[in-house]
Every structure is written in structure tokens, then in C-alpha cells.
Amino acid sequence: MGVVCPSCRTQTRVLESRRAPDGDSVRRRRECPECGRRFTTFERREPEPADVIKRDGERQRFDRTKLRAALLKAGHKRPITAVDMEAIVDRIEMVASDTGELSTERIGELCLAELETLDHGAYLQFLGTLPPPAAAISGDSDPERSVRVAREDPQSPPKAAARRGLDE
């Protein structure tokens, strides 16, 4: 299955292939053996549709627009570019499409992990938009520690067990 020359429709040959660091896309530099025209093609894996499972169990289609809006809100007045945010949306969409579904909690964790490496202010602003159960279970008011606890133990223990653990 070759790519033909845009000028003369001859089958082209590949001069160079370069895979993106995320492994999901490839750029190919091509040349037409007939007229010598050179051009580049870009090949990218199309994400499969995925579901988002909300806290109440309701399912929705994964929606890039909603995720982007939430991230842009967190990045408001922070030194983060729209390109950075779009890259985060891309990566989370790929995780969702690989697994077929993601919980809203998991999406929140993925966003936090991404923002943490980009900008601490945006990280904190995003954290402020999340519902508080993680903080309630960990029993302290440091939001960052709560998230770490929630991340290490995705199967959150029942409240009674957590409380017993803290008292001892």
C-alpha cells in the first residue's frame, strides 16, 4: 500500500521514517522516483472511542472538549501553552482508548500527574476542582498528600478501616 506522488501519481519511496517519542505517530519523508518531488506524510493512530464512568456509575462518551475545558480552567493565568494542554488531552485520550473506559477519578489522577510536571500552580488549581473524598479518607488536610495516598491505593479502603489505621 504505497503513497503516490502528488504531482505525477507515481509510487513514491520512503527516504526516512521518524517515530514520535510517544510511539503513536510516524513521519515519513518520501521521494518520487519519476519527477523527484519530495514530501512528508504523517501517520497517526486513530483513538478508539472510549467511555467515561462517572462517580454515580453513569457512562458517557469520552469527550476531548470537556477535558480540554477543565484543563484550560486549571491553567488559567498559569504559564502553560495551549499546545501543552492539547498534548495532555491527547495522552489521556490514548489511555482511555487503550482501555476502552476510564473513571472520572482516574482521569483526574492522570491530569494531576501531567500538571505536576508542568506547573505547580495549575496542579493546585486543578486539585481544587476535584471532589474531596480522597482528603476525607486520608484524614489530613494536605491536599497533595491525599492525592498521593489515593494514587497509591486506587481501591480506597472503607472509612472505618482507614480510621483504625490512623488511630493506632
The least distance separating Zn ion from the CB of residue 2, rounded to whole angstroms, comes to 12
Question: Cβ closer to Zn ion: 37 or 68?
Answer: 37
Instruction: Locate 43 and state its grid cell.
Output: 501517520
Interface ranges with Zn ion (CB under 5 A): 5, 7-8, 10, 32, 34-35, 37
The least distance separating Zn ion from the CB of residue 36, rounded to whole angstroms, comes to 7
The least distance separating Zn ion from the CB of residue 35, rounded to whole angstroms, comes to 3
Question: Cβ closer to Zn ion: 34 or 58?
Answer: 34
- 3-state SS class at 15: strand
For residue 74, list its beta bridge partners.
none
Question: Cβ closer to Zn ion: 15 or 20?
Answer: 15
> b vs e for 22-35, b when ≥16 Cβ sit within 10 Å of the residue's Cβ?
eeeeeebebbbeee
The least distance separating Zn ion from the CB of residue 20, rounded to whole angstroms, comes to 27
Question: Cβ closer to Zn ion: 30 or 106?
Answer: 30
For residue 51, list its beta bridge partners.
61, 101
CB 32 within 8 A of CB 7: yes
